[in-house]
Amino acid sequence: MTIDEIWQRAVYTLDQHKAEDIRVLGVSGITSIADYFLLASGGSANQVRSLSDYVEEALAREGKHPLRTEGYTAGDWITLDYGDVMVHIFRRETRDFYDLERLWVDAAAVDIGPYLYEQ
C-alpha cells in the first residue's frame, strides 16, 4: 500500500463506523514525524477503541500493521503509527482540549470527500 492508500483506507473505515469530524492534515513540509496526520473523534472511550480496532483490522487485511500504538487502554486518545501516516482517534472532549488542528495550523488540509463511506 502507498502512503495515500493508507490514509484513504483509514478515512473510509472511520467514516463507515461513524467516526466524527474526520480530517487529514498534510504535515510533510513542516515536520519529519510523518507526511499525514489523520484526526477523528468518537463519543466515548469504547467507541474510540472500537474505531481503532476497525482501522487496524482494515489495514491488516492489506498487510499494513502499526509500528506502535499508544493510548488504547485509556481510550481518550489513541495513536496508530503507520510510519508516514499517524492516525489520531480522540474522545471529543480530549480532542477539543489538545486542539491539534490549532497546533498544526500550517498543515495543508487534504480533501477526504472522495474517500468517505457512501451508504
pLDDT per residue as tens digits for the range 94-106: 999 999 999 999 9
- Residue 66 corresponds to which amino acid? P
Asked if residue 116 has pLDDT above 90, the reply is yes
Task: Give the number of domains in the chain.
Answer: 1
Establish if 89 belongs to a structural domain. Answer: yes
Establish if 61 belongs to a structural domain. Answer: yes
Establish if 62 belongs to a structural domain. Answer: yes
For the chain, the maximum distance between any two Cα atoms, rounded to a whole number of angstroms, is: 36
CATH code (residue 59): 3.30.460.10
Q: Is the full-model pTM beyond 0.85?
A: yes
Share of residues in the chain with pLDDT > 90 (%):
97
Establish if 118 belongs to a structural domain. Answer: no
75: phi > 0 → left, psi -120 to 50 → alpha, else beta; which? Answer: left
- Residue 92 corresponds to which amino acid? R
pLDDT at residue number 118: 81
Which residue range(s) make up the domain with 70?
Answer: 3-103
Cα separation, 69 vs 51, in Å, equals: 13
What are 89's three cell numbers?
A: 482517534
Q: What is the CA radius of gyration of the chain?
A: 13
Enumerate residues 6+ apart whose C-beta is below 8 A from 78: 48, 49, 51, 52, 69, 70, 71, 72, 88, 89, 90
Establish if 108 belongs to a structural domain. Answer: no
Establish if 111 belongs to a structural domain. Answer: no
Nearest to 52 by CA among 88, 1, 101, 21: 88
